[in-house]
Structure formats: structure tokens, C-alpha cells
Structure 1
Amino acid sequence: MKKYNSILKYIFVIFAALVITGCVHDDKYDEPNLDDYQCRTASYYTDSQNGYEKWTLSQLKLQTQSVAITKKAYVEAYVSSSDETGNIYKTLYVQDNPENPTEGLTISLDAVSLYTKFPQGSKVYLDVQGLAITTYGGVKQLGKITPAGTRVPEKEVNMHIFRDCNVRAKIIPKVMTLTQMVSANDNLIGCLIQINNVEFDGRALCTPYAPNSVTVDKTIGEGWDSSANKYLKTAVVRNSGYASFANQIIPGGKGSMVAIFSKYNSTYQMYINRVTDVDMETHKNTSGVIDSYPRLDGVTSNPCQFNASGLTVKTIADVKQLNTTANWTQITGDFYVKAQVVANDATSNLYKYVYVEDATGGLRVNMNKLDLFVDNRFRLGKDVYIKLKGLYLRSVNGEIQLGGLFISGGVQQFGQIEETEIYKHFFDTNTVARPVVPTERTISSLTTADVGRWVKFKDLQFIDSDLGKTYAVGTAATNRTLQDCSGKTILLRTNGLADFGSSDTPKKASATEIEGGKGDVYAIVSIFNGTYQLWITKLSDVDLDDPRCDGSVYTPLPVLYKDDFAAGGFGSDWTTVNVAGAQVWNTSNQGNGTNYYAVMSAPLGSLANEDWLISKTVSLVGKTKAAVSFTTDVRYSGPALQVYATENYTGNPATTTWVALPATLDTNTAAFGDWVSSGNVDLAAFLGKNVRIAFKYTSTSAAAATWEIDDFKIKGQ
């Protein structure tokens, strides 16, 4: 797997975050200087000596798909987009006229900062010879067919797109409705449009346009069906996490939006060029009256502004006292609580909930939304106002939690607050996040009043039988046991889906070995049927660097041999044996950038396969402990991968005596990417011997999975 990035990258990210959050972007930019950039006039193309044929955008889009254009032809168009704010990336959108366009086009370019060469409104000439029309996501686009995809290489942009030396028009957006976003109007994809009398839906309210580095969809709606409590028509506004306005809060009123019209497959979507193109807070009607409120859904004022008028403040201890029934208790009073977020879902160890705390205690809050941590309201250390009326309390296995009700299988149940309701109850205090200060406790001093608190324990260690294990097994939640030096124990519970690394450098809980020393543990205290348990939010919450209670220093098993297939291919360390079928073991980096892995797959309907991947011999002579570990990823249904070991490989799998190994394998056949650690699989039976590890793949004509293997290690001492 990839290693952690350097400290320099970390410093850069922190600096960038400070710049983003510390500056106000008003989307007013200096005009680019085009004096030194190439331009042409229409006379160049109409000169018969140059031999150009003029096409319209419509004619261009009718060219044979995925075939390079051989004719010397050009198209006149006007730039409808701007990538100046970073919301549009490596794409130029054009339309046939600056006002009332009839055709638009998406141009795919392997270049950025296009606004410096082709600012919005520029008249451009598309020299299309050598380019091709392709379709991606149901949208026709112009590009160049290359091994890296259909994009015009940056060095060739100046060979195919020319700005008119004299003409730059004002693009007048074409007024449309969401209802008009149908296939009959797909000719307008790429045009600048204006949608009136629309608003962002409840899920988007009080959230940023996009979290840093993540592209997200937000929904806008028009019309309102009060009987069905939904919009008559919706569409998607797609926002880049790299846009300069990504962290700005979405406006809460209704009004107009100017954006590029697009779609992906059957979903119609829009890209805004700049945030000032969204007018939903100061929007005026035809009479000049500001009518951003009431919203279409009936909300009468800005839903993101907290007002304590008429509300009674409660402490978390007060809130817990409101729980009075064995089933669930609805909060009916006009109450609110102010509390600090002390744990969130940044690593996915907590899932769809956060913990908040004040001086009187802590509380789990359940919400039906992923990635709560990217929301300003739920960032670690932030203070948040919570309007309590209409929410529910329940003791879940002994822990009082705040949430909502939902219907499952026709039965009403207690659980998460729906995403569409979050804006009604949670409000940003607009204050800077404060350090989260833990309450110090010992295992013996814990009481139920500590449940929900962020707590620090000194001088804990994992019990002997847990040493060498990973935090979790597979994707399941797993218990490990911590103890103090007097022998008192407490459970540490870890979600198997937790990732304590980053998207670039994953560190799955099932692939991360626990620390063997003694030290401090920071965690949320929970309880399950009278048994206390802890939940961490990051690996640094477990800081066990000191010698163990008995003075010993635990040393993880040294790695004797490892292969993460980083170079691609197997080399001489691996033997591949094809027993049946046309397919063989290989390596790939598909979907993983530069990270290669071993892979075996057979097309469904092909002949049955049997293929072996066998490691080199590794000596365990003189070793008293040994184990093998690796990670797997499976997709599609088929026979399970089999894992074996042998001390005497004959050169033929059929005549070799194999010992099956009880490794944990991925079981999620529905998706790629959820790598599961095998755990440390004991090789005690091979101590003092030479060992080889083998992976046996089988498939049938009716069932054929894809199996991937990575991070192979044999350890011993």
C-alpha cells in the first residue's frame, strides 16, 4: 500500500486550509491579459486559400462517434463557462450564440486556467480536424482520442481553439425551468442557462457547497406539492471541493441560478461558474421587492440563523433527564442546548453519529447522513446549538441517545434524524473550534454519568492475548481488551469499516496492528448492557509507547518477506500455475493509481478456471513464532479464494500436500475497494521449516468472482 505523505504535504494542506477559511471570496477577479495569446479573425477561415469548410455546432455533433475528423473544418462558438473559481475542471463549454442559443457543446481539454485564454463570452473558432466526437455519461463531447482518454492534450489546445481577436460578447443566459430539462432539450447542454424561482432542498441547507477536495451533488427544486411534502421537479447542482467557494454556506432562500446546463446519464445537473451566479438571499421579483422568503417549502426566514428567543436553555444532564419511557420520549418543550462536538465520523469509526458534550455530560446524536465531519457544525471542537423540540430520546442498551423516528418494515423505530430535518435542529455558533479537553478517569472510577464523555485513561495496555492482532477483523465491529496495571479491564470497540489513514494512504482498522506498549488512551465512553466500552476517533488516541506493566517491551513480529506488488508483475518470487481455463494470475493498478495488486478474474460464461499463485520459499528455521498476513478484495459472486501453506512444493499443485489456512477474506461481492485484512494467520505448524503460501482461484461457467491480493507479509522471530 502507499505510504503516508511527507510532512511537507501536511504543512501545505494546513496552509491551504487557513487560506481558504481565512479569506472571503467575492468572485470578483481581474480580467485576464490576452495581449500575448493567439487569436484569429473570421477572415482567416473564409479565405479560400486556407481551404476551410464551415460547420455549425449541430453538424459537428452529428459526426461519426469516436472517429477522428479528417475534414478541414471549423466551427464558430462562444464560451459559456469560466474555470476561474475551480468549479469547472479541464472542460470548456461553448454555445452557438451569445443570446438565445440553440446548440451547446462540451469540450474536453487536458488543461486548466482556461479562463486566462478563453474568458467567458469569447468568440472562438474550433479547428476540428484530428479531433473526435465521443459520448460520456450521455453527453456528446469534443476531444482527441488518446491512450489516456478523450481529451485534447494541453500542448495541442493552441492548434484547435482560437480566440477571435476582436469579438467578445456578453453571454445572456437562456431562461429555462427544471421541467424543461428533458432529452428533447439535450441540444442545449453546454449552454449558460438561468433557472428562476428555485431553492436548495432541506438536505443542502446550512451546509457548504462542497467539502474540501470532494465533489458533491446538491439538489435544487421548483414548485412544491404540500400534500406530498416534496418538490414538483428537482435537478442536481454539482460542486467541486476544489472550488474557491467550496466552504461557503449554501443560501437558504429561493431565487434564481445561472449555471452551465449538463447531465450525467439520466440525471440533469448544472455547474455554476461563480457563486455570485446564485441569487437566493437578495433576490428581487419583477416589482423590485426582495422575495427570497418564504421559501417554496414554507420556511419563512433564513433557516441557518439561530434565534434563542422563546427558547429555554438546557444542559445535557437536563436533556438526559427528559427520557422518561422505556420505549422513546419525544421532546415537546421549546428547549435548546449548546454543546461542543467532541467526537465525529472523520475516520468512519463512528458511523452517522457524533458525540457532543457540555460541563454536565456527553450525549450521542444520531443523524442519517454520511461525512458529518465536513459540515461546519459538526467539526471537532465546534460549539453547536441544538433545538430539541420534535426530537426523541431513548436508552439504547443502557446509553441515552438523541435521534428521530423512522419506519422500517411497517414498524416505527427509534434511530437517526433524517437528513432533510437536520437544518431544523442544528445551528452553527459561528465561533472558532475549541480544543477538546478530556475528562480524566480510571477504569474503576467510571460511572454512568461518564457515558458520552471524551475521557482520558492513563497507563493502559492491551491484554497479552490481543497482542499481534489488528484493531478489527474484516468489516465487522471488533472488541479488543485494554487493562490497567492492577488488572482492571475495559473493551475497546472498533468498526471494521474505519479508515485511520487518508484516501491516498488508507489505513484500514482490519489491517492495522494494535500497539503493544503501555500509555494513554483517549476515547468516548459508551455502554452496552452494563458493560463499559470505548470508541476512539483516530489512531493517535491510543498512545502506548512505554514499557508494559511488567516492564517488558513488546516487539511486533519482524517481517521476513513482503511484497506489495508495487512494481507490477510477479518476478521470480512468485509462481503462477494455470491448471484450467484461459485466464491467469496477473497484477493491475486499475482504480488504485500507482498501487499495484495481484488479481485473478474470469469472465462469466467462460470455461471453468483453476489457477494458483504460489510464493517463494521463506525459511522459518530457528523461529519460535511466525504468521502470514495479506489483504483481499472481492467483486462478483463465485467460489471463495482458498489459501494454503506447504513445506514441500513438488512443482505441481496436484501432488503437493497443502495445509488450508483460516484467513479472513473479503466477503463484499457488491463492490471493489473495501480491502480486508487476513489478520496474522498463525504458521506455528511450519516453525523450523521452509514454507510457501499459495492462493488458489477457482470459477465455473456460472459463477466467477474477481479476487485481488495486496500487502503480502510473512513474519517471524
Structure 2
Amino acid sequence: MKKYNSILKYIFVMFAALIITGCVHDDKYDEPNLDNYQCRSASYYTDPANGYEKWTLAQLKSQTASTAITKKAYVEAYVSSSDETGNIYKTLYVQDNPKNPTQGLTISLDAVSLYTKFPQGSKVYLDVQGLAITTYGGVKQLGKITPAGTRVPEKEVNMHVFRDCDINTRAEIVPKVMTLTDMVSLNDDLIGCLIQINNVEFDGRALCTPYAPNGVTVDKTIGEGWDAANKKYLKTAVVRNSGYASFANQTIPGGNGSLVAIYSKYNSTYQMYINRLEDVDMETHKNSAGQIDSYPRLDGVQSNPCQFSATGLTVKTIAEVKQLNTSANWTQITGDFYVKAQVTANDATGNLFKYVYIEDVTGGLRVNMNKNDLFLDNRFRLGKDVYIKLKGLYLRNVNGEIQLGGLYTPPATGQPQFGQIEEPEIYKHFFDTNTLARPVVPTERTISSLTTADVGRWVKFKDLQFIDGDLGKTYAVGTAATNRTLQDCSGNTIILRTSGQADFGSSDNPKKASATEVEGGKGDVYAIVSIFNGTYQLWITRLTDIDLDNPRCDGSVYTPLPVLYKDDFAAGGFGADWTTVNVAGPNQFWNTSNQGNGSNYYAVVNGVLGNINEDWLISKTVSLVGKTKAAVSFTTDVRYSGPALQVYATENYTGNPATTTWVALPASLDTNTAAFGDWVSSGNVDLAAFLGKNVRIAFKYTSTSSAAATWEIDDFKIKGQ
């Protein structure tokens, strides 16, 4: 099965580190004990008997790329980085001088806690024979070419990087002062150096958010200079933060000041890595006269934008907020109002997209924001209470549901429309209450008792089941939103609406809505109540929101179709279960691959531009004799433009696709040709026409001289009973 695994080893190491350092907020640590660490002195390298040639960092970086260095050479450098806080991982940054450096370098090492052996400022010697200069993201780095990658293996680090034995050679690294405007290719020699940027601030999208959500690496933008006419920074760059850093959950400072960080880039995007939190001085920054000058910011913000104050504001309930909507189009909120409410549903599983639901004792409300992964923001975590300043926001009745949002102007029409609150504006309206999340308590309702006052609420329904016609179906088909129908034992029904983009599992165990069958029993359902043109509909946020483990209303127990045959290609190769046939084009066949997927394989085929290809992948025969129901399911992933994959079934394969009678199957296929990774389930494709017979399933790939897509198949199953 194709899965996208996290770096488990990294997680375990950093989790252990967080247990130890999780309560540290000032980033002040004890000095590392350097006793008994392997070291070398300058005399070792200058001794003619040892035969070393001295290189500069510039000479080292000029070596032939991706080729092991054969010369016995060494380089002197000073460590500019520290992985002490966990924001830098398996990387050592060095520069040629502690002050006014002219060259920096990224060293890729398969080792952690490097600061204990090579603290910032240490003079080190790089013994480069056997290593190689490679390039990643446009940045030259020193490593070793191995089957596992280009990091120097941990057991070999002490063969290539040595601290100077004279502890007095440890120097203070004085950050090189730069501006964001200086971040151009002309200064790429400085990548890896410690730099300082003055008079900068984090942009509005970053304000009032943490440096990084737990376990997630994110980019935050800083800006310098301000274009008042166009309301944007004159120059920006990226500060890249790890969700495993000890300071990850600390709030981004809201003021203006200086930033000390490691200088780097990825392709054409310049970025910086913070060593420690004390290197960010944007709240209590002082000018040359000793006066704090963090505010006002360049963009005009006068004081800390993340501190909520109710002074001069009037509190409103959600019911009162809804009553402010008086226009058939939209209503702008002009009063100095605020609301305090609890987040009852967010986008953690992708079933909701760019909106959350909030609720107080008077009702619930959908809030639209133009930002991905809202659930990673502390303010929008499930169960959190949030303050919302309402002035300047908009209300609209959208198909019967009053929603809170903003206005935007589509370029195609040039006319404003109601939609989402733009990301740079979020900090102006949403404030963390700085209280712990509390349990979300549902309101109990029955289908027949629902009223419009329940729209937006988190509601519990008892004793519901999916209708007979939905049994055996998945929650969604393809990537589109799909309706399924729930009913109570009196026959009252309500729609459950699920996005095909939803994934109710994890990165290690995905449970895509389009690949997960609905439950067949009866039980409790927890969901947000919505409405569309007078029809109530429900949205869940997790699979556990539907708990249908009891017998159905008629006392029966539903049993999903048993799997008769499956192949997830996990071991690689097809074996005797599959037949591959090349009909047209070069000698092109279906294969299996695990590219980008660790040990998990999948079936794959891609044509060659300039040729017309036809290639078949045909399953073994599976008997449906004696079966009264049967279906086939699989997942697909496509990249690049080209003809759609065709799926067929036959009861009598002749050995030649051209002379076999095929029946086309209406399977849902991936349609996103722009990227890999968005696997789409076919759903349970009915095989009723083949009951009582033997069946084979075939995948027909074609390409043209100008369009050749890559198609991947996984999780193949034939089910029946």
C-alpha cells in the first residue's frame, strides 16, 4: 500500500529532546562539556609527514560536484550554527572567519546534538578526502555519496570533522549585518554564515501564530521597508521553523527589530534558520539611545497586535451576531463588537476547507478564512475559546446559512463578492484567550426536531444508520463532495456530506473518504448541522464522529463484502498474478515502483513523448461462482497530461487484448495531473454482470505523440459474497 511516512527516527529523537527541554522558554542552556571529545590541532595538518594540503572554503566549494574528493586536503572553519534548540537538524553550518566572513558552507551529517561536540564558535578542521560537494535546492553542501543519500554517516563524522584541541580557539561569531535586499545570488558565497537583519518584522500572516505547529516545519515571512501606497513590504524573505524546535509553540513576536539567523536559500527563495529564540529581538528592541522602538511597526501597527482588550467594545452572542445580517447581499459589521466562542469544528481532516465553526450557548456560526490548515493555529484548535473582533467583517446568508467572512474581488469580474477573511487580516480579528481547550459538548437533537436555530451547532443524533442503498459505498467518490443518507428508525432522513479530499487517518495510515466504506450498523452520529436551500445536511470532522456498532433498526447485522483477492504490490513485482502486454509503442510495460515511498510499492506505467503507446495490465482470474454480490476497488494517482486510464473486465480472456470482449467499468480515477500524491479511490465498482463467472480486471494505458501521462495503481481488491 502506498503511504507517505513521516521520518520516524527523527520524531523519536526529537520527542525525547522535547521531554527534556519542553519547559524551557528562554533558550538558555548549560555550556556543553567538551572533555574527552576527539580533537586535532593545527600542527597535525601542517606537519609535512601527514601530507595534507590546505584548502579554503572557496576551494572546497569549487570541487567537481557529486564526485568523491581524492586529495588529502583539509579546511579550517568556524561553526556558525547550533542545533541545541532542535530548529536545525543533522546539519552543521560553518564559515571561514568568526567576523566578516566571506564564505559559508552547509555540511550534511547523519548525526544529532552536534552542539555538544561542535558548539557555535568552535574552530573545526574538515578532513575532506572521501567526501563530496553536492547541490540541494541550489545550495552547495558537503557530504558523502552513499546508497542512503548524501549525508556523512554518523559513524564517519569523527573521521571528517574535528574540533580544535585548543579550547581557546573558540570564538564569538559576530553576525554579518545584511539587508533583505542583499539576498541575491551575488552573495550566495555567504550561505551558511550567521547574519543579522535589522529593522525587519514578521508579516501579518505570521502575527499571533506560533513559530511552528507541533511536528510541522513551516515558513514565516519577514519584511523590510514599506510601500504605503500598495500596502506591502519592499522586500521579503523566509524564516523556516521546525515544529520540533524547543521554541516552536512560542508566539511570533509582533514588533519590529532585528533577527540573527543562519543564511540559506532553497532554489530562488532566500531563507533563514534561527539558532535560538534570544536571537529574535522584535518586542523589546532598543535604538541607539537605549529606547524601546519595536512599535510602531513598518506597516503602522502601533502596539502588540496579539493582546486582546475589550475596552470600548460591546460583547455579542452568536445569536445576536446573526441578527446583524440585514441585507440580501451582505452586511458589513460597523459596530465595535466582539464575540467569545468555542471552536467546535475545524479542518484537521480536510473535510472542512478554509473555515471553522464556533459556538456559544446561543448557537453556532461558520467562519470563513483564506488560510490552509487552520487547525495548526492555536486559536483554532478544537475546543479552544477565541475572541473575535467583529468590526469590518461581513455577514451573508449563503443558501440558508448565515456565515461570517470577508469580501474579495475576483479578477475576472472586478466585482466584490462575499467570501473569506484574507490571511493577512486574521490577526486583526482573532485572539487567543490563552486558556486550555475544553471538551466540545454536543446539543442532542433528532432529525425531526431540527430547526434553523441549530444550523452551525455541533449536534448529537442517537440511533441513526445509513440507508440500505448506501451500504457498501465509500463516504465520497473521487475528489468531489458526496452525499450519503442517514435515517432514524422512524424513516426520517438527513444528508451526510463528505469531501473527497478528506483523510480521516494519519500520514502513516491514511483513511481517505473516497476509500473508506460507510459503517453498516446503527448508533450515534456527531456532526455540524448545515443547510443548503432548505435541506439540512451534516458534516463530520472525524470518523469517530460516527459510531454505528449496533444492529440495524430491523435487527439485522450488516457484513461488508469479504475480500476475495487483493494485491497492494507491497513486495515489488507482479509475479504470476498479473499479465503485462505491450501492444503499441516502444517496448514499454507496466512495472512496480517505490519511488518516494520507502518500501511500499505500487504499479506504474508512463509513455514516451513522441510515441503512441498502448499497454495493458491484466489481473489473474478470480471466481465469482456462487456469489450474489461482487465489486472491485483500487486507488489511482496520475501526473502529467495524457489520455485517461481505461478500466475493463472480461469473463473470457483470449490471451490477446485485441480479440477479447471487454466490458468498460465506470471507476472514479484521479484527475489532478499537476502533482503526485493525491490518491483517489475508485469506489466499489459493481461486478454484477459477472456473478457466477470467472472475471479478470484490466487496466489499459494509452499515450499519444504529444501527451504521455504517468499512471499509478495501488490497493487492488476484488470483493464478493
Normalization by structure 1: what TM-score?
0.97
Structure 1: distance between partners of 2:241 and 2:12:
23
Contact 2:3 2:507 (C-alpha < 8 Å) held by counterparts: no
Contact 1:283 1:290 (C-alpha < 8 Å) held by counterparts: yes
Structure 1: distance between partners of 2:49 and 2:3:
59
CA RMSD for the aligned pairs? 1.9
1:457 and 2:464 aligned: no
Contact 1:21 1:247 (C-alpha < 8 Å) held by counterparts: no
Structure 2: distance between partners of 1:372 and 1:163:
44
Match of 1:334 in 2: 336
Task: Give CA-to-partner distance per residue, 1:63-122, whole Å, 9 cap, x none.
Answer: 122222111111100000011111111111000001111110111112221112211111
Q: Which runs of 4 or more aligned residues in structure 1 lie more than 4 Å from their structure 2 counterparts after TM superposition?
A: 2-5, 11-22
Structure 1: distance between partners of 2:134 and 2:20:
36
1:603 to 608, 613, 633: 608
Match of 2:480 in 1: 476
Match of 2:705 in 1: 701
1:439 to 443, 464, 474: 443
Match of 1:642 in 2: 646
**Secondary structure of 1:159's aligned partner:** helix
Match of 1:58 in 2: 58
Q: How do 1:108-119 and structure 2 match up within 5 A?
A: 108-119=108-119
Query: Which moved further from structure 2: 15-24 or 662-671?
Result: 15-24
Once the two structures are TM-superposed, the CA of residue 568 in structure 1 deviates from its matched residue by 1.1
Match of 1:352 in 2: 354
Once the two structures are TM-superposed, the CA of residue 365 in structure 1 deviates from its matched residue by 0.2
Structure 1: distance between partners of 2:210 and 2:312:
28
Query: Which moved further from structure 2: 416-425 or 61-70?
Result: 61-70
Structure 1 598/3 Cα, relative in aligned 2: closer, same or farther at 3 Å?
Answer: closer
Once the two structures are TM-superposed, the CA of residue 504 in structure 1 deviates from its matched residue by 1.8
1:382 and 2:384 aligned: yes
Contact 1:108 1:151 (C-alpha < 8 Å) held by counterparts: yes
1:429 and 2:457 aligned: no
Structure 2: distance between partners of 1:37 and 1:505:
42
1:516 and 2:558 aligned: no
Once the two structures are TM-superposed, the CA of residue 234 in structure 1 deviates from its matched residue by 0.6
Structure 1: distance between partners of 2:350 and 2:18:
25
Match of 1:681 in 2: 685
**Secondary structure of 1:202's aligned partner:** coil
Match of 1:283 in 2: 285
Structure 1: distance between partners of 2:526 and 2:13:
25
Match of 2:149 in 1: 149
Match of 1:269 in 2: 271
Once the two structures are TM-superposed, the CA of residue 15 in structure 1 deviates from its matched residue by 8.8
Unpaired segments ≥5 residues, structure 1: none
Q: How do 1:149-168 and structure 2 match up within 5 A?
A: 149-166=149-166, 167-168=169-170
Match of 2:177 in 1: 175
Once the two structures are TM-superposed, the CA of residue 604 in structure 1 deviates from its matched residue by 2.2
Structure 2: distance between partners of 1:565 and 1:244:
40
**Secondary structure of 1:184's aligned partner:** helix
1:87 and 2:87 aligned: yes
1:591 and 2:596 aligned: yes
Once the two structures are TM-superposed, the CA of residue 21 in structure 1 deviates from its matched residue by 11
1:411 and 2:415 aligned: yes
Once the two structures are TM-superposed, the CA of residue 593 in structure 1 deviates from its matched residue by 2.6
Task: Give CA-to-partner distance per residue, 1:212-243, whole Å, 9 cap, x none.
Answer: 22111100011111111111111100111111
Structure 2: distance between partners of 1:650 and 1:79:
69
Q: How do 1:18-29 and structure 2 match up within 5 A?
A: 23-29=23-29
Once the two structures are TM-superposed, the CA of residue 25 in structure 1 deviates from its matched residue by 2.6
Once the two structures are TM-superposed, the CA of residue 16 in structure 1 deviates from its matched residue by 7.7
Match of 1:213 in 2: 215
Structure 1: distance between partners of 2:237 and 2:163:
33
Structure 1 595/26 Cα, relative in aligned 2: closer, same or farther at 3 Å?
Answer: same
Contact 1:191 1:260 (C-alpha < 8 Å) held by counterparts: yes
Contact 2:14 2:86 (C-alpha < 8 Å) held by counterparts: no
Letter in 2 for 1:522: Y
Query: Which moved further from structure 2: 175-184 or 431-440?
Result: 175-184
Q: How do 1:57-76 and structure 2 match up within 5 A?
A: 57-76=57-76
Normalization by structure 2: what TM-score?
0.97
Once the two structures are TM-superposed, the CA of residue 129 in structure 1 deviates from its matched residue by 1.2
Query: Which moved further from structure 2: 589-598 or 672-681?
Result: 589-598
Structure 1 19/435 Cα, relative in aligned 2: closer, same or farther at 3 Å?
Answer: farther
Structure 2: distance between partners of 1:532 and 1:57:
67
Once the two structures are TM-superposed, the CA of residue 488 in structure 1 deviates from its matched residue by 0.5
Letter in 2 for 1:301: S
Task: Give CA-to-partner distance per residue, 1:635-664, whole Å, 9 cap, x none.
Answer: 111111111111112222222221111111
Letter in 2 for 1:129: Q
Unpaired segments ≥5 residues, structure 2: none
Structure 1 15/432 Cα, relative in aligned 2: closer, same or farther at 3 Å?
Answer: farther
Once the two structures are TM-superposed, the CA of residue 4 in structure 1 deviates from its matched residue by 12
Structure 2: distance between partners of 1:20 and 1:339:
35
Match of 1:617 in 2: 621
Match of 2:561 in 1: 557
Structure 2: distance between partners of 1:49 and 1:540:
70
Structure 1: distance between partners of 2:170 and 2:687:
73
Contact 1:562 1:713 (C-alpha < 8 Å) held by counterparts: yes
What fraction of aligned residue pairs are identical, expressed as a percent?
Answer: 89
Match of 2:120 in 1: 120
Structure 2: distance between partners of 1:317 and 1:19:
43
Structure 1 121/13 Cα, relative in aligned 2: closer, same or farther at 3 Å?
Answer: closer
Contact 2:627 2:720 (C-alpha < 8 Å) held by counterparts: yes
Match of 2:570 in 1: 566
Structure 2: distance between partners of 1:115 and 1:244:
15
Structure 1 213/639 Cα, relative in aligned 2: closer, same or farther at 3 Å?
Answer: same
Query: Which moved further from structure 2: 682-691 or 590-599?
Result: 590-599
Letter in 1 for 2:302: T
**Secondary structure of 1:540's aligned partner:** helix
Letter in 2 for 1:652: N
Contact 1:582 1:609 (C-alpha < 8 Å) held by counterparts: no
Contact 1:110 1:151 (C-alpha < 8 Å) held by counterparts: yes
Structure 2: distance between partners of 1:308 and 1:385:
9
Once the two structures are TM-superposed, the CA of residue 19 in structure 1 deviates from its matched residue by 5.0
